[in-house]
Amino acid sequence: MKKLTSLLFLICIIFSCGTKQSDLAIPVAYLQLEKTTLEIADVVTGLDIPWDIDASIPGELWFTEQKGLVHRMNLKTGERKVMLALDDVLFRKSYGLLGMAVHPKGNYLFIHYTYQVNDNDLQQVVNSRLVRYDIHNEELTNRKVLLDEIPGNTYHNGSRIIISPDDKIIFSMGDAGRTDQTQRDDFLVGKIMRLNLDGSIPEDNPVSGSPIWSRGHRNPQGLAFGRNNILYSSEHGPNNDDEVNLIRKNANYGWPDVQGFCDQPGEQEYCDEHQIMEPLIAWTPTIAVAGTGFYDSPKIPEWQNSLIVANMKGRALRVLNLTEDGEQVDQEHIFFQKYFGRLREVAVAANGDVFVGTTNTDWHPRFQPWMYDGLPSGPDRILRIRAVNKSEMIDSLPVLKEDDEAMELMSEGWQNPVGEEELAEGQKLYIQNCLACHNPEGTGAPGLYPPLANTNWVTGDKIRLIRTLLLGLSEPIEVNGETYNQEMPSYAHLSDQQIADVLTYIRNSFGNQADGVLEGEVFVERQSLNK
């Protein structure tokens, strides 16, 4: 019977069985728990960095792609529609369209995204905003900006959005690289915030007239409500102490003065003085905790009253069983380690289905290829996890089990060492493309072409340098106190590797000494320009 079922299933896939093949939830593996068998199936494939997933509306799945797309999918028919394509999103590396939430009544969509403040593509100024749309039939209407001009950066913009049981917007924001502002109530970075659905400030917020609910966060990227309306958040640490926190009104979580628990010299005194909330659990080395969902369905009894946390660097799904009161982690379980790659988001539906989004096409695998052995290739996907009877299983598919222990994580070491081979390739490209204007010694030509030697323009911001080659220059620039106004053509015709090679050579020649440029870094910048 199982073989016949498998054959019929294969025939159904080939001939579509009344719907498109891409719209089917296709089983790819199983997970065997102590008592329950779980099916893992592809629900959506062919995605480019899905960031957020929302399963609040029965029978529907809403999800985003970081480049600025919001999708709505009918889970019964497989029909999918792009509900929103942002035209002002600034998408690059770790920013773009970030948090999203759909109101459980299906009447509002909330999104948070970054945008460019200035007109300079070489040195972009980043802000972000929180926006609400009305959901009317098959359209989004009545766009309303709820929070605007939130200071942003090229990193740590957060974020997650969730609707609370008392019908408030809960919105997390990273420190945006402004660590000195996470403890200040006049800045919204490094905070978890609470607003009314119309963007006004609830009267019972801890700071009068402010959306701030808690402070001292580094980069919270997961939000979930558990039993008794307890709010949980997952948060990225630096090189240590990724955290899961229980979020209290007006509480302080210590960043940047406290990392994880109050267990280091100097931290305890600060914790006592400022009444710092310690995490429920922390991981060192960091596993890059991301989206978090609360599971309480009897469909998977082993996971009842648990937080399900996606891990990107850790490449796993962690299930944290909670104590009855929800205020402690009782047990930690690790699943899918390395199997599906980097996992960014978790959404739990009312019927007990769990949706998980992969993030294998983002910038990390290109910037840190040494960390991701065996990373699945191809586009990203959304997986559905649900309980099934063993009689429904397809014999040919793998059956996974809980991982016995956490895998060993390699160093994140951001420095890219430069070898003789890279310099030789870069030198050839420099001679062919750059030498005529910038001279063999990189000194340039006074009043005409800027020097490449001994200047922060070369050894400083790599993004600016990469974009200069991709875009060219037609405006005046100042280098070492001198203004230059000669046009430089675009070198976008060079491959990502060639641009990386020539820039690596320039950054390590003519008296310069800086880390090299990776092919992946060029890829990310080119991709953002071609959006």
What pLDDT was estimated at residue 116?
93
Q: If you average pLDDT over each of 40-49, 359-368, 454-463, which comes out highest?
A: 40-49
Per-residue pLDDT tens over the stretch 54-72: 999 999 999 999 999 999 9
150 DSSP β-pair partners? 128
What pLDDT was estimated at residue 378?
83
Same domain, 453 and 323: no
Tokens linked to 121: 């593509």
pTM (two decimals) = 0.88
**How far apart (Å, rounded) are the C-alpha atoms in residues 82 and 85?**
7
Q: Residue 348: inside a domain, yes or no?
A: yes
Same domain, 229 and 279: yes
Choose the final residue of a domain: 367, 400, 433. Answer: 400
Same domain, 372 and 462: no
Per-residue pLDDT tens over the stretch 17-32: 333 333 378 999 999 9
DSSP conformation class of 157: -
Comparing 410 with 325, the larger pLDDT belongs to: 325
Q: Residue 1: inside a domain, yes or no?
A: no
**43 to 63, 66, 164, 357: CA distances (angstroms):** 12, 18, 27, 10
The pLDDT confidence band at residue 415, using thresholds 50, 70 and 90, is low
Q: Residue 73: inside a domain, yes or no?
A: yes
Query: Which residue in the block uniquely carries the two structure tokens 């070489």?
Result: 122
Residue of 366, 497, 521 whose CA lies nearest to 428 = 497
Same domain, 385 and 440: no
**138 to 47, 70, 81, 143, 306: CA distances (angstroms):** 22, 13, 9, 15, 34
**How far apart (Å, rounded) are the C-alpha atoms in residues 79 and 27?**
18
What pLDDT was estimated at residue 365?
86
Q: Residue 18: inside a domain, yes or no?
A: no
Residue of 93, 83, 77 whose CA lies nearest to 126 = 93
What pLDDT was estimated at residue 120?
78
Comparing 447 with 222, the larger pLDDT belongs to: 222
Q: Can you give the CATH number for the domain in which 496 is found? A: 1.10.760.10
Per-residue pLDDT tens over the stretch 342-358: 999 999 999 999 999 99
Same domain, 393 and 450: no
**395 to 335, 336, 357: CA distances (angstroms):** 21, 19, 25
- Tell me the percentage of the chain whose pLDDT exceeds 70: 95
Q: State the total domains in the chain.
A: 2
145 DSSP β-pair partners? 131
Q: Which domain holds residue 184?
A: 28-400
Q: Are 38 and 406 in contact (CB under 8 A)?
A: no
Tokens linked to 379: 């586009």
Query: Which residue in the block uniquely carries the two structure tokens 């099916």?
Result: 39
Task: With H, G, I as helix, E, B as strand and everything else as coil, classify residue 211.
Answer: coil
**154 to 306, 343, 365: CA distances (angstroms):** 33, 21, 18
Tokens linked to 57: 């509306």
Q: Residue 4: inside a domain, yes or no?
A: no
The pLDDT confidence band at residue 315, using thresholds 50, 70 and 90, is very high
Same domain, 353 and 382: yes
Choose the final residue of a domain: 400, 432, 456. Answer: 400
**How far apart (Å, rounded) are the C-alpha atoms in residues 442 and 282?**
49
Name the H helices within 318-448.
Answer: 364-367, 420-433, 435-438
Taking the CA atoms of the chain, what radius of gyration do you get in angstroms? Answer: 25
List CB contacts of 498: < 8 A, sequence separation 6 or more.
Answer: 429
Q: Are 425 and 418 in contact (CB under 8 A)?
A: no
Tokens linked to 485: 């106004």
Same domain, 228 and 81: yes
Q: Are 422 and 515 in contact (CB under 8 A)?
A: no
**How far apart (Å, rounded) are the C-alpha atoms in residues 219 and 458?**
30
